[in-house]
Amino acid sequence: MKKLVVLISGQGSNLEALIAARDAGGLGAGIAAVISNRPQAPGLEKAAAAGIPAVVVDHRDYPDREAFDAALAERIDAHAPDAVVLAGFMRILTDGFVRRYEGRMVNIHPSLLPAFPGLNTHQRALGEGVRIHGCTVHFVTPELDHGPTIIQAAVPVFDDDDEETLAARVLEAEHRIYPLAVRWLMEGRLRLEGRRVRLSAPAGEPAVLIAPAIGSGVCRAP
Ligand code: GRF
């Protein structure tokens, strides 16, 4: 059985989606541990309730990013995971840490990258007046929110949306695509070709093409 370590900082709703997929036999892996850099992260309780070891590595206990990342790597490696899954993990990682898990560390970002990397994505999407917004699962590379895309989901932006309604719509899409992407990774079906991620078919089935997108809803004309 393959193993994941999931890193969180907050609510852990993506973690819950991963746990639900695991319970339904659709994740292709078990979750060996959940690690949070914030002791108060509500996601820690969700992990514990699901019988998953919940660990805190508080970034405030370390003098700099290198020291924190070294401690984090030690806790991760103790579980010898097949992949590291960032699920709302709000820390910038050092290049050394990223390279250590290259090709086996993924992140979910609440925008259609390369649009809106970084923070406050929903607010910025509303400010720009975009009609389509969404989320992206990507491999993690040293450049923030810039790794090769595995899958994206698009959602419409409505005239009466505010940050909260838009965030909720995007989050729902996140919960659909993240377990799927993790399963593909665990099945060894993702292959990098430059910046493009190729998805191979499950064994014995005809080949499919690349990183699919899921669209939900139609964008209204202004
Ligand atoms: C999600 O929107 C994720 O894309 C972003 O942080 C949020 C985490 O939500 N990186 P949760 O903790 O999984 O509920």
Average pLDDT, the chain: 93
DSSP 148: P
Please state the atom number of ligand 1 nearest to the C-alpha of residue 107.
10
pLDDT of residue 203: 72
pLDDT of residue 218: 37
pLDDT of residue 108: 98
Pocket test for ligand 1, best of 120, 171, 172 (most atoms within 8 A of CB): 171
Q: Is residue 175 among the annotated active site residues?
A: no
If you measure from the C-alpha of residue 88 to the centroid of ligand 1, how many angstroms do you get, rounded to a whole number? 4
CATH number at 109-222: 3.40.50.170
Pocket test for ligand 1, best of 14, 91, 122 (most atoms within 8 A of CB): 14
Burial 61-76 (b: 16+ CB within 10 A, else e): ebeeeeebbeebbeeb
Instruction: Tell me the domain boundaries of the chain.
Output: 1-101, 109-222
pLDDT of residue 21: 98
Pairwise CA distance, residues 197 & 189, whole Å:
10
Residue ranges of the chain whose pLDDT lies below 70: 206-222
Asked whether 200 and 138 are in contact (CB, 8 A), the reply is no
Active-site option among 109, 122, 138, 175:
109
pLDDT tens digit sequence for 72-125? 999 999 999 999 999 999 999 999 999 999 999 999 999 999 999 999 999 999
CATH number at 1-101: 3.40.50.170
Question: How far lies 28's CA from each of 7, 24, 71, 80, 119, in Å?
Answer: 18, 10, 27, 16, 31
Within a 10 A sphere around the Cβ of 103, how many other Cβ atoms?
A: 15
Same fold, 1-101 and 109-222: yes
Q: Whose CA is nearest to atom 1 of ligand 1?
A: 88
Please state the atom number of ligand 1 nearest to the C-alpha of residue 109.
4
